[in-house]
């Protein structure tokens, strides 16, 4: 069986700079892969490339074994769900309507039914009729996660889904993504919190300056060497009762 | 679902009442007997007033308002910006430029030519916007481009005034630019009705995409709906609607801006479901505005475009003020 997502030696530019420089990443069914790396490493670009939203200089992005450029928009939309980092919602729609946007090809009632279930899944069932403009950032993040779950695509791509959320909401979001993978879906998620990445992911792909530095099991991928060279951290992994914990300090004191 | 249906039915009922009002009141006061005569015999004097003067004028106002309300709702959804409308994006100004050029060149003598020139102007603006939208995806960039287009078309229209050798032609252009549905006939209705129908079909096609765009450009592009197709449909719909409105009634501001605002809360922000009620609200606004402009005790009849701007601008400021406090603009 082919991987749900395959980036094969992808090169992409943004203006004059090369944002992806031969990136290869794959995500299989039942797998949660975390993309880690400093700001500007190419995490968002990799996710956008996987969705066909970024023109590629060379290489290929494949969804379910097929080149994303050869897929129709509809096929793309049903093979991969996308949870962008941007959480701005233009109009004050009720949460249930926003979540239902995940199923644009279903009839109104069927979409609303799925939306209700997804809102319940992310603990936002009570917000269904509330306008998204009247919500806190955390509540809106839940609604948007529900929207991505409503797609029910085999693959879910989440770009920094926990940025700016309180600890409880962060854990809830990651828990839902993990549940998606455990149910047989593939998940690619970019994360800045290395401890949470290590705890949630099957594999961690470390990107730096548009290149894959390492692609391995979490604690192995985030070795002291990588922490030093990529993140500028002097860090060690401590085995806490509930999982690995990164103890780190900055190498360069400025 | 039911709430949206009752909103639209309510607006339609209000429009019917407004149309009856527009038929009843006018410069020539008619007695009850004369109304009876008008209904019984359309060829009689009162019948002429009712069926050949007031009725086409009111229907024209309705359709022009509906076209502007629809165009405004489409553009606001497309640009995810409550400040967008055909005026802001230069569609109205380019249509006006086309008409002004045609008038100065003496086209007013040939029926339909000024209207065609306005439609061509709007279509050119629409094509330009489609071409730009295909290259730049940021809605802000499209708005900026529209503002530039609007200013440029305005400057060219001013240039026409400047260089026009005939003060009569200038006065004619000015008169036309002010915007009015005075003396409009069933021929004018026949102009705007098919354009409005075409715009409505395109707008309906764009509706699901407009709703999806609520999530932002990136999420919408990955949603499975074709945003490129939606953008073309939406721009054609707004150009056709705005072009037809300008072609028949000249430049009438604020309806495209205000109509979507008036009904947005009732559809809970949904830019797809906004389209129909916004068109209805725009039509209702213009029928009422035209009736009010006719009943104003002024020597010269107040031009509809002047009236909508006088009433619309402060009203819009008030709406913007309230909206900004409740929900960021």
| Backbone φ and ψ of A203, nearest 5° | -135, 150
- What is the CATH classification number for the domain harbouring B8? 1.10.3470.10
Question: Within a domain: residue B326?
Answer: no
Q: State yes or no: pLDDT of B201 exceeds 90.
A: yes
Q: Are A149 and A171 in contact (CB under 8 A)?
A: no
Rg from Cα positions in chain B: 20
Write down the residue that tokens 């450009």 correspond to: B217
| Distance (Å) from the alpha carbon of B268 to chain A's nearest alpha carbon | 5
ipTM reported for the complex surpasses 0.90: yes
- Side-chain-facing half-sphere of A162: CA atoms under 13 Å: 22
pLDDT digits (tens, 9 = 90+) for A135-148: 999 999 999 999 99
User: Cα–Cα distance between B13 and B36 in angstroms, integer?
Assistant: 23
| Distance (Å) from the alpha carbon of B206 to chain A's nearest alpha carbon | 13
What's the pLDDT at B32?
83
Contact A101/B264, CB-based, under 8 Å? no
User: Cα–Cα distance between A56 and A60 in angstroms, integer?
Assistant: 8
Which chain B residues have a beta carbon less than 8 Å from that of A82? 218-219, 222-223
Average pLDDT over residues A160-182: 95
Using the Cβ of B79 and the Cβ atoms of chain A, whether some distance falls under 8 Å is answered with: no
Question: Within a domain: residue B116?
Answer: yes
Contact A101/B216, CB-based, under 8 Å? no
Which chain A residues have a beta carbon less than 8 Å from that of B206? none
| CA A14-A15-A17 angle, 5° bins | 70
Which residues 231-290 on chain B approach chain A with CB closer than 8 angstroms?
264, 268-271
What's the pLDDT at B1?
53
Domain count of chain A?
A: 1
Average pLDDT over residues A171-197: 96
Question: Within a domain: residue B17?
Answer: yes
Q: What DSSP letter does each residue of B269-318 carry, written as one string?
A: T-TTTTHHHHHHHHHHHHHHHHHHHHHS--SSPPPHHHHHHHHHHHHHHH
Domain count of chain B?
A: 1
Which chain B residues have a beta carbon less than 8 Å from that of A134? 327
pLDDT digits (tens, 9 = 90+) for A108-125: 899 999 999 999 999 999
Residue B251 is part of which domain span?
Answer: 2-320
pLDDT digits (tens, 9 = 90+) for B13-33: 999 999 999 988 877 778 888
Question: Within a domain: residue B224?
Answer: yes
- Cα–Cα distances (Å) from B155 to A51, B90, B151, B166, B249, in that order, read 44, 12, 6, 19, 21
Question: Within a domain: residue B171?
Answer: yes
| Distance (Å) from the alpha carbon of B265 to chain A's nearest alpha carbon | 8
Q: State yes or no: pLDDT of B323 exceeds 70.
A: no
Contact B270/A76, CB-based, under 8 Å? no
Helix (H) or strand (E) holding A81: strand A80-83
pTM listed for this prediction: 0.91
* Number of neighbours of residue A137 by Cβ within 10 angstroms: 13
What percentage of chain A reaches a pLDDT higher than 90?
A: 89
| Distance (Å) from the alpha carbon of B15 to chain A's nearest alpha carbon | 27
Of A149, A217, A193, A189, which Cα lies nearest the Cα of A32? A189
Counting Cβ atoms within 10 Å, is residue B140 exposed (0-12), middle (13-18) or buried (19+)? Answer: exposed
Q: State yes or no: pLDDT of B281 exceeds 60.
A: yes
Question: Within a domain: residue B134?
Answer: yes
Tokens encoding A150: 């409503």
Q: State yes or no: pLDDT of B116 exceeds 90.
A: no
Q: Are A19 and A42 in contact (CB under 8 A)?
A: yes
Tokens encoding B165: 């050798």
Q: How confident is the model at residue B140 (pLDDT cuts 50, 70, 90)?
A: confident
User: Cα–Cα distance between B217 and B215 in angstroms, integer?
Assistant: 7
User: Cα–Cα distance between B208 and B271 in angstroms, integer?
Assistant: 9
Residue A230 is part of which domain span?
Answer: 5-250
What value does the mean pLDDT of chain B take? 88
Q: Are A80 and A157 in contact (CB under 8 A)?
A: yes
Q: State yes or no: pLDDT of A83 exceeds 90.
A: yes
CB-nearest partner of B269 from A81, A91, A105: A91
Closest residue on chain B to A108 (Cα): B1
* Number of neighbours of residue A18 by Cβ within 10 angstroms: 17
Of A197, A177, A195, which Cα lies nearest the Cα of A81? A177
Q: How confident is the model at residue A174 (pLDDT cuts 50, 70, 90)?
A: very high
The two beta strands, A186-190 and A32-36, are parallel
Contact B216/A48, CB-based, under 8 Å? no
- What is the CATH classification number for the domain harbouring A114? 3.40.50.300
Using the Cβ of B225 and the Cβ atoms of chain A, whether some distance falls under 8 Å is answered with: yes
List residues of chain A with CB under 8 Å from any CB of chain B: 48, 51, 53, 73-78, 80-84, 86, 88-94, 97-98, 101, 104-105, 108, 131, 133-134, 144, 147
Which chain B residues have a beta carbon less than 8 Å from that of A75? 224
What's the pLDDT at B329?
41
């Amino acid at each position: 069986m082919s991987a749900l997502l395959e980036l094969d030696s992808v090169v992409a530019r943004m203006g004059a700079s090369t944002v992806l420089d031969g990136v290869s990443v794959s995500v299989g069914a039942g797998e949660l892969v975390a993309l880690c790396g400093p700001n500007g490493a190419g995490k968002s670009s990799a996710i956008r490339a996987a969705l066909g939203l970024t023109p590629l200089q060379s290489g290929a992005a494949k969804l379910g074994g097929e080149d994303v450029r050869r897929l129709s928009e509809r096929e793309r939309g049903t093979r991969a769900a996308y949870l962008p980092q941007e959480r701005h919602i233009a109009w004050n729609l009720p949460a249930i309507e926003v979540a239902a946007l995940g199923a644009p090809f279903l009839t109104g009632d069927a979409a609303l039914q799925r939306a209700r279930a997804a809102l319940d899944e992310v603990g936002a069932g009570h917000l269904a009729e509330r306008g998204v403009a009247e919500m806190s950032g955390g509540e809106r993040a839940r609604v948007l996660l529900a929207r991505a779950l409503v797609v029910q695509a085999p693959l879910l791509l989440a770009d920094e889904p926990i940025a700016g959320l309180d600890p409880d909401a962060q854990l809830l979001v990651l828990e839902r993504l993990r549940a998606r993978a455990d149910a047989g879906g593939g998940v690619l998620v970019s994360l800045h919190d290395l401890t949470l990445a290590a705890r949630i992911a099957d594999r961690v792909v470390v990107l730096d300056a548009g290149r894959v530095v390492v692609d391995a099991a979490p604690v192995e991928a985030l070795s002291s060497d990588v922490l030093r060279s990529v993140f500028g951290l002097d860090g060690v992994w401590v085995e806490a009762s509930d999982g690995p914990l990164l103890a780190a300090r900055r190498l360069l004191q400025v | 679902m039911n709430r949206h249906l009752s909103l639209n039915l309510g607006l339609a009922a209000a429009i019917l009442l407004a149309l009856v009002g527009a038929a009843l009141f006018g410069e020539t006061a008619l007695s009850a007997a004369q109304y009876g005569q008008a209904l019984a015999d359309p060829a009689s004097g009162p019948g002429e007033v009712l069926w050949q003067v007031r009725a086409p004028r009111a229907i024209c106002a309705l359709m022009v308002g509906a076209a502007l309300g629809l165009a405004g709702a489409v553009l606001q959804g497309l640009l995810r910006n409550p400040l967008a409308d055909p005026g802001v994006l230069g569609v109205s100004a380019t249509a006006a430029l086309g008409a002004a050029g045609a008038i100065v060149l003496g086209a007013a003598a040939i029926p339909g030519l000024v209207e065609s020139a306005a439609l061509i102007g709007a279509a050119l603006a629409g094509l330009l916007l489609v071409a730009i939208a295909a290259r730049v995806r940021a809605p802000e960039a499209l708005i900026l481009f529209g503002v530039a287009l609007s200013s440029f078309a305005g400057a060219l229209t001013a240039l026409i005034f400047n260089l026009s050798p005939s003060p009569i032609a200038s006065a004619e252009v000015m008169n036309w630019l002010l915007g009015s549905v005075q003396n409009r006939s069933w021929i004018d209705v026949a102009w705007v009705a098919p354009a409005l129908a075409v715009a409505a079909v395109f707008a309906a096609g764009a509706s699901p995409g407009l709703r999806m765009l609520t999530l932002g450009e990136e999420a919408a592009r990955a949603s499975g709906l074709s945003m490129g197709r939606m953008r073309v449909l939406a721009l054609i719909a707004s150009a056709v609607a705005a072009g037809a409105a300008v072609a028949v009634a000249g430049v009438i501001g604020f309806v495209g801006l205000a109509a979507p605002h008036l009904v947005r809360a009732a559809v809970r922000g949904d830019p797809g479901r906004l389209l129909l009620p916004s068109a209805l609200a725009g039509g209702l606004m213009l029928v009422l505005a035209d009736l009010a402009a006719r009943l104003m005790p002024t020597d010269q009849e107040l031009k509809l475009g002047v009236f909508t701007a006088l009433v619309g601008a402060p009203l819009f400021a008030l709406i913007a003020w309230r909206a900004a406090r409740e929900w960021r603009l």
